[in-house]
């Protein structure tokens, strides 16, 4: 069974959403000195490849620990929209994939953005669903959507309409995915299990594709 890791490496100098402090990974115990090794980790919940829970944007939305474990695994397809060449993804761009979307639990958008990871352009002018397209997706029985960008809303958004639309429908969002080009299957099983943290609005995940 092929396994593809869709997760960016977490480290102290990793790219972070503008305005977010860098994570820290401090060695507090070592084998030579203490007989065991241990890190002290400080990070925001929306760091690297991560999940947005409904509670991230919706006041009465579920937190990650309130969602069933089945929410984080399911049949998935990748929609390659990397050649669209525009910032706004419209319903007309998705209609050709309607039959595929009806068959899956997750839709992952390949927007061709993961190769910009590590550079300043990663957080600039990335493609996003428009509000009509986001609302169109909510008609399907999806557990969540993913993408290789840092957000489903534009970087300069003041009101997060796309987040509210998707999360308000009880779905999860997985951001900052990578290695999508390595997934050769049209349909595959995707999993993105978070830590079981009480009242978590989000969490870094180890996202994996398998078939």
Average pLDDT value for residue range 71-92: 97
pTM over 0.85, yes/no: yes
Average pLDDT value for residue range 7-16: 98
**Proportion of the chain above pLDDT 70, given as a percent:** 100
Per-domain residue ranges for the chain? 3-15+45-210
- pLDDT higher than threshold 90 for residue 1: no
Beta bridge partners of 5: 208
What pLDDT digit, counting tens, does each position of 139-195 carry? 999 999 999 999 999 999 999 999 999 999 999 999 999 999 999 999 999 999 999
Is 64:202 a contact under the CB 8 Å cutoff? Answer: yes
Average pLDDT value for residue range 51-74: 98
3-15+45-210 homologous superfamily: Putative cyclase (3.50.30.50)
d(CA 193, CA 206): 7
d(CA 117, CA 137): 27
User: Where residue 127 falls among pLDDT bands split at 50, 70, 90?
Assistant: very high
d(CA 139, CA 162): 15
d(CA 72, CA 205): 10
List the beta strands (DSSP E) in 87-167: 88-89, 106-110, 128-129, 144-147
């Amino acid at each position: 069974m092929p396994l593809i890791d869709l997760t960016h490496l977490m480290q102290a100098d990793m790219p972070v959403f503008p305005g977010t402090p860098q994570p820290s990974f401090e060695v507090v115990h070592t084998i030579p000195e203490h007989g065991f090794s241990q890190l002290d980790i400080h990070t925001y919940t929306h760091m690297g490849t991560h999940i947005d829970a409904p509670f991230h944007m919706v006041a009465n939305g579920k937190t990650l620990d309130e969602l069933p474990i089945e929410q984080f695994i399911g049949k998935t397809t990748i929609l390659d929209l990397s050649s669209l060449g525009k910032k706004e993804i419209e319903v007309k761009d998705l209609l050709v994939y309607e039959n595929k979307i009806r068959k899956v639990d997750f839709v992952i958008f390949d927007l061709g953005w993961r190769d910009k990871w590590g550079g300043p352009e990663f957080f600039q002018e990335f493609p996003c669903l428009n509000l009509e397209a986001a609302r169109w997706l909510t008609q399907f029985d999806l557990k969540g959507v993913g993408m290789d960008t840092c957000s489903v809303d534009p970087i300069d958004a003041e009101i997060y309409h796309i987040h509210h639309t998707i999360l308000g429908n009880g779905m999860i969002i997985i951001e900052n995915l990578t290695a999508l080009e390595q997934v050769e299957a049209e349909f595959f099983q995707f999993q993105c299990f978070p830590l079981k943290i009480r009242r978590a609005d989000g969490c870094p995940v180890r996202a994996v594709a398998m078939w």
